[in-house]
């Protein structure tokens, strides 16, 4: 997945917002003010931080060389995904959806109930 495709997918999620709180080089994607992804260009490839269940985070790191502990993030709950072409696009989209879902579930019920979201089956 290329950085442009990742950005388009992230912005296609309900109520997704692109912000730049860390400067012009790092895009931060939020849902109702809570971060669910970051995206940055690192030389020729992109790097994306995604929230993840701690057990799944470890499994993905074992499965894919391009998934490492979250850069500048809580390494228990975040992974960095290198967009180097080695992970199938569908798997990256699933990781994005999972990150989005985790953050939506953490929102107050009165906020989350107005977000039209049902995670796709894997």
Residue 79 CB-density burial (10 A; 0-12 exposed, 13-18 middle, 19+ buried): buried
Q: What is the pLDDT of residues 72-121, one digit of tens each?
A: 888 889 999 999 999 999 999 999 999 999 988 877 787 777 777 665 54
CATH of 3-106, one of 1.10.10.10, 3.90.1150.30, 2.30.110.10, 3.10.620.30: 3.90.1150.30
Q: What is the pLDDT of residues 6-30, one digit of tens each?
A: 999 999 999 899 999 988 889 999 9
Are 82 and 70 in contact, with CB atoms under 8 Å apart? no
Residue 6 CB-density burial (10 A; 0-12 exposed, 13-18 middle, 19+ buried): buried
Question: What's the pLDDT band for 45 if we cut at 50, 70, 90?
Answer: confident
Q: Sign of the C-alpha dihedral, residues 67, 120, 29, 42?
A: positive
Give the bridge partners for 46, in sequence order: 41, 83
- Verdict on whether the full-model pTM lies above 0.85: yes
Q: What is the DSSP letter of 70?
A: P
**Cβ neighbours of 52 (radius 10 Å):** 23
* Residue-level pLDDT at 41: 81
**Cβ neighbours of 51 (radius 10 Å):** 24
Are 77 and 54 in contact, with CB atoms under 8 Å apart? yes
Of the candidates 62, 81, 78, the residue with the CA atom closest to the CA atom of residue 70: 78
């Amino acid at each position: 997945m290329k950085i442009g495709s990742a950005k388009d997918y992230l912005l296609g999620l309900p109520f997704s917002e692109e912000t730049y709180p860390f400067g012009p080089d790092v895009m931060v994607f939020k849902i109702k003010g809570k971060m669910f992804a970051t995206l940055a260009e690192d030389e020729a490839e992109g790097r994306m931080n995604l929230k993840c269940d701690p057990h799944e985070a470890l499994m993905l790191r074992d499965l894919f060389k391009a998934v490492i502990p979250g850069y500048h993030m809580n390494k228990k709950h975040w992974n960095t995904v290198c967009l180097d072409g080695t992970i199938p696009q569908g798997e990256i989209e699933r990781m994005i959806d999972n990150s989005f879902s985790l953050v939506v579930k953490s929102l107050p019920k009165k906020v989350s109930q107005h977000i039209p979201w049902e995670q796709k089956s894997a």
